[in-house]
A = this chain, B = another copy of it.
Amino acid sequence: MADRTAADGAGVIFDVDGTLLDTNYLHVLAWSAAFGDNGFRIETADIHRAIGLPSDSLVERLVQEQRPDLMEAHSDHFDRLRERYGVHAVTGAGDLLRRCAASGWTVVLSTSADKDDLDWMLPLIGADDVIAGTTTSGDVPHGKPHPDAMVTAMDAHGLAAERTLAVGDSVWDMRSARRAGIDCVGLTAGGISGPELQDAGAAEVHDDPAALLGRFRLSLLGVRAPQTQR
């Protein structure tokens, strides 16, 4: 475990879906089905690019209406797909969180998902012992790409923007972080490409947590780490 604590104000805020858990493609299909059941035909590539937004923002972006019934239909489809097809952590997710904690970072998760979802998410990540806390949709007045998603997580754990990094897989993660004054690292594990993440503000891009772990010392997470490991 880390010797230093959050008193440093140094933390890494991780997105969950598509970053630590390989869920984006199931979410795309669940939304596609929810829209289709209700007479909307939205191209799956457009849904994919909206993943990472809070559900209400995603719906409004894609069908230009506020439709809580579509959010519920998505949840139902997603639960069925998750049961049928299973969900796994992205390779190296738990190890990356552990390495961050061992390097002195306060590790925080910030997700647009509901608090209840943590019940199945956290065991899959398998790093509860190093996660200082989690921020879910209900904790944040305005979800990503609003900076609230990051500011709330920083406030809750005494993190300073200039000593904090964000790691995510969507342009919404990158924009939320940049607007909160946080440098951010992009992962293409959610299916959004490197150039798209860089355009949205990513300081560096890696394939997945395992790839980032492989270059940890040279990455922002290593270079700016509160303590150097031997």
Residue of B nearest to A81 (CB): B29
Interface residue stretch chosen among A139-147, A191-199, A222-230: A191-199
Say yes or no: is A25 at the interface (Cβ < 8 Å to chain B).
Answer: yes
Contact A44 B25 (CB under 8 A): yes
A191 partner residues in chain B, CB cutoff 8 A: 44-45, 48, 191
A28 partner residues in chain B, CB cutoff 8 A: 25
A-B contacts, 13 listed (Cβ < 8 Å)? A24-B44, A24-B45, A25-B28, A25-B29, A36-B86, A41-B91, A44-B191, A45-B188, A45-B189, A45-B190, A45-B208, A193-B196, A195-B196
Residues of chain A at the chain B interface (Cβ within 8 Å):
22, 24-26, 28-29, 32-33, 36, 41, 43-45, 48, 85-86, 88, 90-91, 188-193, 195-196, 208
